Amino acid sequence: MTERPISELFAVLVEWATSKGAERVDLLPGLWTGETDDWLVEMNGQKTEVEGIPPFTFKLTHKVFLSIALISPFDGALVGASEVELIEHFKAQCEVAS
């Protein structure tokens, strides 16, 4: 079996969520939630779908613009958002938190 690398965006989101206190999200009864000035973030750490979000997936919803993203460890779907801009945004948020 070929190993697939984890996407950079997923890794940055995990780093950001951890900086916001997310840990052992697999033990939560539902979704972990967080936000930045621009984005609402929901993360499903469960092995099953929760509230329409697939397992081990982040859902990002922009607070103003019609932009949404579903990001899993190996792929994702973005509408109205740039992967590069999201990576830069959440990296900057990690720097603010530290």
* Residue ranges per structural domain of the chain: 8-97
Among 2, 37, 36, 30, residue whose Cα is nearest residue 17: 36
When pLDDT is averaged across residues 77-84 and rounded to a whole number, the result is 94
Among 39, 37, 35, residue whose Cα is nearest residue 17: 35
Model pLDDT for residues 24-73, shown as the tens digit of each residue = 888 888 999 999 999 999 999 999 999 999 999 999 999 999 999 999 99
- CA distances, 40 to each of 1, 4, 32, 67 (Å): 35, 28, 11, 11
**pLDDT for position 4:** 82
For the entire predicted model, the pTM comes to 0.91
Strand partners of residue 77: 70
SS3 51: coil
When pLDDT is averaged across residues 73-87 and rounded to a whole number, the result is 94
